[in-house]
Amino acid sequence: MSKFTSEAVDKYAKDLLFELSKEENTMVLNEFEIIEKNMEQIMKLPNLKETEPMTHPIELEMTLLRLDEVKDELSVEEVLSNTEHKTMENIIVPKVVE
Amino acid sequence: MKSIILDAQKKEKNALLEECKKNILENQAQCNSCVTIIEDATTKKETSSLLSNIPYVLKDNFSTKGIETTASSNTLKNYIPPYDATVYDRLNQTGAILLAKTVMDEFGMGGTGTTGHTGTVKNPWNLECIAGGSSAGSAAAVASGAVPFAIGSDTGDSVRKPAAYCGIVGYKPTYGLISRYGLIPFASSLDHVGILTKYVQDAAIVANEIKGIDSHDMTSWDSSQIELPSQLEKDISGKKLFYIKEIVDIENYQNPTEELRIILNQFQEVLKSLQELGAVVESKSISKDLLETLPSVYTCISSAEATSNLSNLTGIIYGPRGEGKTIEEIIVNHRTNGFSPLIKRRLIIGSYVLQKENQEKYFENAQRVRNQIVTIMHSFFKEYDACILPCAASIAPKIANANDEMKQDFAVLENHMVIGNFGGFPSITIPSSIVSNMPIGINLTAEQKEDEKLLNIACKLEEKLNFKGGL
């Protein structure tokens, strides 16, 4: 039995910093039902435990560490160019410590 | 060999630009392909590149300095990147002219072209049908003949499926052949840059101009020995191809539609064409149980990676700022109002499968299945030059019926192209014939780094099929 309940869905949404409507919650549950069913099937596949999880499709060539040099640097002005909420070189947010 | 790009090179550059500008405005009015149109685009100084002064469109998840880049999401509305994606930079160096940023499924997480924040993209073949996704606008723009080529991205089949639905070529090269620096990420181990054109030769020309190692992308590799257009005309007699019989056997589908029967019959006709070219085609088998897990494996892996990649979207530094009295309230408001329901679903599933207690059962097992499928494909490629399969179980669905909910009917045929992403294999779709007045396509996939061979087979098959359904 899946632990993926309506309450759990809301909790995950809260952890991910967004809220869900009731319809959105139901859609997640429905989709997960199919995944859960397929996962049960996956666990029956032969040699699963002996197979390494694949995290990446191709051997990486660029493995050397680069020198710790500054390059292609963005200016503070460029970095802050997408917000109106700024002062000097800082972004304005609500006071954190009361 | 046909080429829109080489034909366009014969035209006077100002006339070509004006023609494409007019075309893209017409396409926008008809299909809604564009998020942003660069109306003041001008001709450039000639370069030695075949793309010099060739107009094109770019999917809206590639960063373009000074030009709004939204990934078709409200969370990035009005975001103007301070830097260029490598792909855009390289195209600028060739002298190609950017005409528009195209509509996509939000962050690439969809296959319909209906979830972008500026609305649904319509298929130029039939405006009641989807263009497919997520590179929907790029596919619709090329299919309507507005521009000679478009750039897209492909995480599951997001270049190849819309190409098939729109009757054009969609090419996803080997993982890392083209740098992804500046491409807004969806699922990093699966994301590829892709190219949409009308003909295989054009896809080879464009990929050849933008490929190459990039110090900004550690997954890119040195491809200086690869010359993609060089082998297009080679005879393919003696080449060995395979198809996966569990995917194309009608007996494997419960309640097959008449359309599915026609598509699978047409596939057999394509195999005959290949044999007439002297190629050998054989069937290979992959366990049905394994193939049926493809959609869930893809959803687990891509959602988990997306959960991490999209965590930087807070509305604090860029994107529309949410309302609230605390930082947390601001972020929650931004993400709640900014993400569409589809994105929220994906992120929740991603978060769930990454929980400590679930990781092994879901995420790691999905990665294990990925390994099993890729290992089987590598073993087949030791004996065969390429895999050939139909692209989908249907023509482009009607907009009213399209959604991204997971379905189990025909799931294997609808989702098998993710194998190309699982293994980083080069993979291409070319249009093959017309069914119910809509185009269908054929998918070819080869071993990693054998892009030249793949394009050769695709080009010769394209020539043989002589698809005449161009709009």
State residue B165's pLDDT score: 98
Torsions phi, psi of B388, nearest 5? Answer: -125, 135
Q: What is the pLDDT of residues B54-87, one digit of tens each?
A: 999 999 999 999 999 999 999 999 999 999 999 9
Name the closest residue on chain B to residue A63, using Cα atoms. B218
Query: Which tokens sit at B243?
Result: 């198809």
3-class SS shares of chain B: helix, strand, coil, % to 5: 40, 15, 40
Residues near A82 by Cβ (< 8 Å), separated by ≥ 6?
B78, B79, B80, B82, B317, B318, B319
- Flag if B348 and A42 touch (Cβ within 8 Å): no
State residue B405's pLDDT score: 67
Asked if the bond preceding B48 is cis, omega within 30° of 0, the reply is no
Name the closest residue on chain B to residue A71, using Cα atoms. B216
Query: Which tokens sit at B140?
Result: 């619709």
Any A CB within 8 A of B359 CB: no
Which of B79, B293, B332 lies closest to A42 in CB terms? B293
Distance between B17 CA and the closest CA of chain A, angstroms: 31
Q: What is the DSSP string of B297-342?
A: HHHHHHHHHHHHHGGG--SSSSSPPPP-SSHHHHHHHHHHHHS-HH
- Of B172, B33, B193, nearest in space to B113 by CA: B33
Which of B176, B316, B368 lies closest to A58 in CB terms? B176
State residue A59's pLDDT score: 79
State residue A1's pLDDT score: 42
Is residue B198 within 8 A of residue B8, CB to CB? The reply is: no
| B-chain residues near A89 (CB < 8 A) | none
Best residue in A37, A43, A58 to probe B by mutation, most B CBs within 10 Å?
Answer: A58
Please indicate, yes or no, if residue B125 is contained in any of the structural domains.
yes
Residues near B122 by Cβ (< 8 Å), separated by ≥ 6?
B30, B31, B32, B128, B129, B130, B131, B140, B399
Q: What is the ipTM of this complex?
A: 0.92
Q: How many residue pairs from chains A and B have C-beta atoms closer than 8 A?
A: 181
- Flag if A82 and B336 touch (Cβ within 8 Å): no
Name the closest residue on chain A to residue B65, using Cα atoms. A78
Is the pLDDT at A87 greater than 80, yes or no? yes
Name the closest residue on chain B to residue A29, using Cα atoms. B345
| Spatial distance between the Cα atoms of B222 and A65, rounded to a whole number of angstroms | 17
Name the closest residue on chain A to residue B189, using Cα atoms. A56
Q: What is the pLDDT of residues A34-78, one digit of tens each?
A: 878 878 888 889 999 999 999 999 977 666 677 888 887 899 999
**Is B59 one of the annotated active-site residues of the chain?**
yes
**Is B158 one of the annotated active-site residues of the chain?**
yes
Place of tokens 């990420």: B185
Catalytic residue, chosen from B3, B13, B21, B59, is: B59
Number of domains in chain B: 1
State residue A35's pLDDT score: 78
| A-chain residues near B314 (CB < 8 A) | 17
Catalytic residue, chosen from B134, B135, B179, B433, is: B134
State residue A9's pLDDT score: 92
Q: Is B86 exposed, middle or buried (0-12, 13-18, 19+ CB in 10 A)?
A: buried
Best residue in B115, B348, B365 to probe A by mutation, most A CBs within 10 Å?
Answer: B348
Any A CB within 8 A of B343 CB: no
Domain containing B436: what range? 4-237+427-465
| Spatial distance between the Cα atoms of B158 and B40, rounded to a whole number of angstroms | 29
| B-chain residues near A16 (CB < 8 A) | 307, 335, 344, 347-348, 351
- DSSP letter, residue A75: P
| Spatial distance between the Cα atoms of B147 and B140, rounded to a whole number of angstroms | 10
Please indicate, yes or no, if residue B304 is contained in any of the structural domains.
no
Please indicate, yes or no, if residue B275 is contained in any of the structural domains.
no
pLDDT beneath 70: ranges in chain B: 404-409, 469-471
Any A CB within 8 A of B369 CB: yes
**Is B161 one of the annotated active-site residues of the chain?**
no
Collapsing DSSP to helix, strand or coil, B128 comes out as strand
Helix H or strand E segment including B110:
none
Query: For residue B143, what is the domain's CATH number?
Result: 3.90.1300.10
Distance between A38 CA and the closest CA of chain B, angstroms: 6
Torsions phi, psi of B194, nearest 5? Answer: -135, 170
Catalytic residue, chosen from B63, B73, B153, B158, is: B158
The C-alpha angle with vertex B391 and arms to B470 and A54, in degrees rounded to 5, equals 135
Please indicate, yes or no, if residue B265 is contained in any of the structural domains.
no
Any A CB within 8 A of B346 CB: no
Any A CB within 8 A of B250 CB: no
- Flag if B352 and A61 touch (Cβ within 8 Å): no
- Flag if B328 and A17 touch (Cβ within 8 Å): yes
Is residue B361 within 8 A of residue A47, CB to CB? The reply is: no
Please indicate, yes or no, if residue B362 is contained in any of the structural domains.
no
State residue B182's pLDDT score: 98
Please indicate, yes or no, if residue B212 is contained in any of the structural domains.
yes
| B-chain residues near A47 (CB < 8 A) | 372
Which of B176, B336, B408 lies closest to A19 in CB terms? B336
Any A CB within 8 A of B110 CB: no
Residues 395-454 of B with CB under 8 A from A: 405-406, 408, 421-424, 448
